[in-house]
Amino acid sequence: MSNLLDINGLNIEFPTRRGTIRAASNVCLHVNAGEVLGLVGESGAGKSTVGNAIIDLLEKPGRISAGSIKFNGEELRDKDADQMRRIRGDRIGMIFQDPQTSLNPLMTIGAQLVETIEKSTKIRGRKADRHAVKLLEQVGITEAVARLKAYPHQFSGGMRQRVVIALALAGDPDLVIADEPTTALDVSIQAQILDLIKKLCKERNLGVIIVTHDIGVIANIADRVAVMYRGEIVETGDVAQILGAPKHEYTRSLIAAVPRADTKLERFTSVDYIEGATNNFKRIDIQNHWLGETRKQDYDGLALEVKNLDLSFVLQNAVFKRNRRMLKAVNNVSFSVQQGETFGLVGESGSGKSTVARLIAGLYRPDAGVIKVFGANVNTIKKSRANLSERQALQMIFQDPFSSLNARMRVLDIVAEPIRFYKLTNSESETRRIVQDLLDHVGLGAAAELRYPHEFSGGQRQRISIARALASRPRLLVCDEPTSALDVSVQATILNLLKDLQQELGLTMLFISHDLPVIRQMCDSIAVMRHGEICEVSDANAFFNSPKHPYSKHLLDLMPRMDLIKP
């Protein structure tokens, strides 16, 4: 029996002015009808490139240099551009990552569907309309007839992704390639979309390739898994085998790096297969170290106290107050954080958790409420050197490692900025020594100080961010999704670093994330936010074992199941 798709010895190259980069080498894959193949790997592994190569949509100047792609027994590399275009619409469907940009905002959903149907099948006119309705119903959109006249902006992100799936199915394809189909979506919607893809795959006997970086997605949907690392497939196998008993060392460390939701581990283990992750974390004698100097002062109250916080954003301005449309981004939020604990703030996108972080950091001013950091009211502290200990007490680590560092400054100047501004040292040579020490401490090595941020990868940049935050000698560290832009293995090393630093320096942390397993690994207490309000505040163990609020239960139910992974 021949497979639906057979890839053999595929090599993909990108010629650049610095020589040829091999994006994929000797890739061998096959997909059967009615089966979901998960293609998993971290960024830069070449998984999307392989997906694009199948449908001849390689980005320029990429080219296939060797190998064969056989679809239903036909060699796709022999087809010309015209034939490939027909195969793309009719027989291979694509689902892209971002539902915001993969639909034309100026056309109704119906028009886009009918256009695709008429192009790729023989159905015309009224029949095409009816077919479009049928497709929308299949992907779970209710009142499909009325929805045909709607524009993409009238749909939510999850609904849009359903429409994209309907579009991919319009030509009644045999194979669907889904490139990170749920990465831009919230967990609750992710689960629905994955269920839908799985259901369609079985019903229509489709072959599906899911390209993803997320082991959780793979665990929930895939039948078979191919693991890619640096352009090569290191391991292929049944999903239970790959997750439960991985053979290749890379797969093993990748799976070890996935945060677990069921138990809290001391640290992430054996993530040593990864770039620069040599565990060179050195203990320092905090009592006699520069970093420990502020900790000698005595204060035994709450590290952070937030009371009845309110903030509204103006959605639509108007001269008269009653005509203004406001969004309550933060609504009556209160919680408190003990010294030395890690407090997790969890919620889906738009829940207001990042806004709370920025309020606490003093970047926004609240409409009402009080924020006290180590007993000092954030919004009454004057920005002067006189009360520097209050200003310094709090530092923040941001989500996006690419925009959180000034590209025009050397790492040395970035990290030294707070030290120089507050004159924390007596001489420039001392400043330099401390910066080197900090960089060494976050695992970058002292030599990094003379380079510019663009020379570093995402994880390394996040380490620079951490070093900069530490340079102020903070006592409260606000981490706003510090790892959600990073690969899972890099995430594990960064989380390990944060844990180590916290234990060593006695830091208090406010940890903001949408990712429950990460929260589980990091936090002592947890607050759940939704629509700007806090649903539940509780101890981490109690929360994961017996959530009280229905929304918390809902969130926990949606977590990707990891039963297949053996601890």
Q: Residue 219 or residue 357: which is nearer to another protein going by CB?
A: 357
The first and second tokens of residue 92, run together, are 């291979």
| Rounded Cα–Cα distance for residues 455 and 233 (Å) | 28
Q: Among residues 264, 306, 225, which one has the least CA distance to residue 520?
A: 264
Judged by CB under 8 A, does residue 21 bind another protein?
no
**Which of 455, 539, 557, 563 forms a contact with another protein (CB under 8 A)?**
455
Count CA atoms within 13 Å of residue 9 on its CB side: 4
Q: Residue 399 or residue 552: which is nearer to another protein going by CB?
A: 399
**Which of 245, 363, 368, 542 forms a contact with another protein (CB under 8 A)?**
363
Interface with another protein (CB under 8 A), residue total 38
CB of residue 517 to another protein, shortest distance in Å: 25
Of the listed pieces 188-196, 219-227, 416-424, 519-527, which binds another protein according to CB under 8 A?
A: 416-424
Q: Residue 2 or residue 406: which is nearer to another protein going by CB?
A: 406
Amino acid sitting at position 323: N
Tell me, residue by residue from 255 to 294, as one string, x for binding to another protein by CB under 8 A and - for no binding.
Answer: --------------------xx------------------
Strand order in the sheet with 5-16: 19-31, 5-16, 63-71, 74-75
567 within 8 A of 255, measured Cβ to Cβ: no
β-pairing, 368-373 with 376-377? Answer: antiparallel
Of the listed pieces 174-182, 417-425, 542-550, 551-559, which binds another protein according to CB under 8 A?
A: 417-425
Of the listed pieces 73-81, 116-124, 231-239, 391-399, which binds another protein according to CB under 8 A?
A: 391-399
Per DSSP, the residues of 216-227 read HHHHHH-SEEEE
The first and second tokens of residue 346, run together, are 């969890």
Judged by CB under 8 A, does residue 230 bind another protein?
no
Of the listed pieces 286-294, 359-367, 492-500, 556-564, which binds another protein according to CB under 8 A?
A: 359-367
CB of residue 416 to another protein, shortest distance in Å: 11
CB of residue 403 to another protein, shortest distance in Å: 4
Residue list 458-497, contact with another protein (CB under 8 A): 460, 465, 468, 472
Residue list 339-358, contact with another protein (CB under 8 A): 358
CB of residue 421 to another protein, shortest distance in Å: 6
**Which of 297, 407, 426, 427 forms a contact with another protein (CB under 8 A)?**
407
525 within 8 A of 552, measured Cβ to Cβ: no
CB of residue 276 to another protein, shortest distance in Å: 7
Coil, strand or helix: which one is 187? helix
517 within 8 A of 258, measured Cβ to Cβ: yes
Judged by CB under 8 A, does residue 450 bind another protein?
yes
Of the listed pieces 74-82, 191-199, 341-349, 388-396, which binds another protein according to CB under 8 A?
A: 388-396
C-alpha to C-alpha distances, 103 to 142, 163, 314, nearest whole angstrom = 19, 9, 29
Count CA atoms within 13 Å of residue 515 on its CB side: 21
CB of residue 364 to another protein, shortest distance in Å: 10
Question: From the CB of residue 109, how many other CB atoms can be counted at a distance below 10 Å?
Answer: 26
Q: Residue 164 or residue 477: which is nearer to another protein going by CB?
A: 477
476 within 8 A of 304, measured Cβ to Cβ: yes
109 within 8 A of 150, measured Cβ to Cβ: yes
- In the block, tokens 């890379």 appear at 250
**Which of 64, 284, 388, 556 forms a contact with another protein (CB under 8 A)?**
388
Q: Residue 322 or residue 408: which is nearer to another protein going by CB?
A: 408
**Which of 68, 331, 392, 538 forms a contact with another protein (CB under 8 A)?**
392
**Which of 48, 138, 342, 395 forms a contact with another protein (CB under 8 A)?**
395
- H-state helical runs in 334-448: 353-360, 388-392, 411-421, 428-441
**Which of 328, 433, 451, 499 forms a contact with another protein (CB under 8 A)?**
451
Local structure of residue 348 (DSSP, 8 states): -
Q: Residue 296 or residue 383: which is nearer to another protein going by CB?
A: 383
Over 511-552, what HEC string results?
EEECCHHHHHHHCCEEEEEECCEEEEEEEHHHHHHCCCCHHH
Judged by CB under 8 A, does residue 405 bind another protein?
yes
Over 418-474, what HEC string results?
HHHHCCCCCCHHHHHHHHHHHHHHCCCCHHHHHCCHHHCCHHHHHHHHHHHHHCCCC
Tell me, residue by residue from 367 to 386, as one string, x for binding to another protein by CB under 8 A and - for no binding.
Answer: ----------------x---
Judged by CB under 8 A, does residue 164 bind another protein?
no
Q: Which parts of this chain interact with another protein (CB under 8 A)? A: 17, 275-276, 358, 361-363, 383, 388, 391-392, 394-396, 398-400, 403-409, 417-418, 421-422, 447, 450-451, 455-457, 460, 465, 468, 472
